[in-house]
Amino acid sequence: MKSTPLFLALVLSLTLAACGKDKPADTAAVAPADTATTAGPPMPMDPSQGVAGHVEGVAAVAASGESGHDLYAAKCVTCHGGSGEGLAGNPKLAGLSRADIQSRLTDYRDGKTRGPKTPIMAAMAKPLTDAQIAALASYLGE
């Protein structure tokens, strides 16, 4: 039995899977409806987080047209994990404040060196608008 067709099929499927990395994931296809709301950091205005302090985040989400959850799923989850725990040596985001996340993303976008992951993070943050950075900070920050 030849393994070449199986190998080619595997390579093709991995290549196709990698092509869609910078597009938002279809959360309905990724997780069942009952677990889709529990994956990752809490959404802005999550009742368990209270209402105070979320006004700016909600305004940023409305202004950007994209939710922090959608942005995180599209751009961050691969390296930082579903709940911001950090994967494969990438930094943990869970537990950081909104201000810290916003400051870090703004610095990366503006070309300021922040550490050994700066080249990767600068490329990821470069296309983000202020509203998108605020939405991500609101979504992730405590």
Q: How many CB atoms lie within 10 A of CB 139?
A: 27
pLDDT score at 2: 59
pLDDT tens-place string over residues 49-107: 333 333 344 444 445 468 999 999 999 999 999 999 999 999 999 999 999 999 999 99
What span, in angstroms and rounded, lies between the C-alpha atoms of 40 and 49? 14
Segment 114-123 shows an average pLDDT of: 91
Q: Is residue 8 part of a domain?
A: no
What is the number of H-type helices and E-type strands within the chain? 9, 0
Q: Which residue would you say has higher pLDDT here, 75 or 39?
A: 75
The predicted structure's pLDDT at residue 53: 37
Residue 3's pLDDT band, with cuts at 50, 70 and 90, is low
pLDDT of residue 8: 67
Check: CB of residue 131 under 8 Å from CB of residue 56.
Answer: no
Asked if the structure places residue 16 within a domain, the reply is no
CATH of the domain at 34: 1.10.760.10
CB under 8 Å to 104, separation ≥6 — which residues? 114, 121
Bigger pLDDT: 131 vs 15: 131
Beta carbons within 8 Å of 139's beta carbon, 6+ residues apart:
41, 43, 44, 57, 67, 68, 69, 71, 72
Number of domains in the chain: 1
Does residue 2 belong to any structural domain of this protein?
no
For residue 18, is it within any domain?
no
> Nearest to residue 134, comparing CAs of 43, 47, 82, 64?
64
In a domain, 10, yes or no: no
Domain ranges, residue 89? 23-140
- The answer to whether residue 79 is domain-embedded is yes
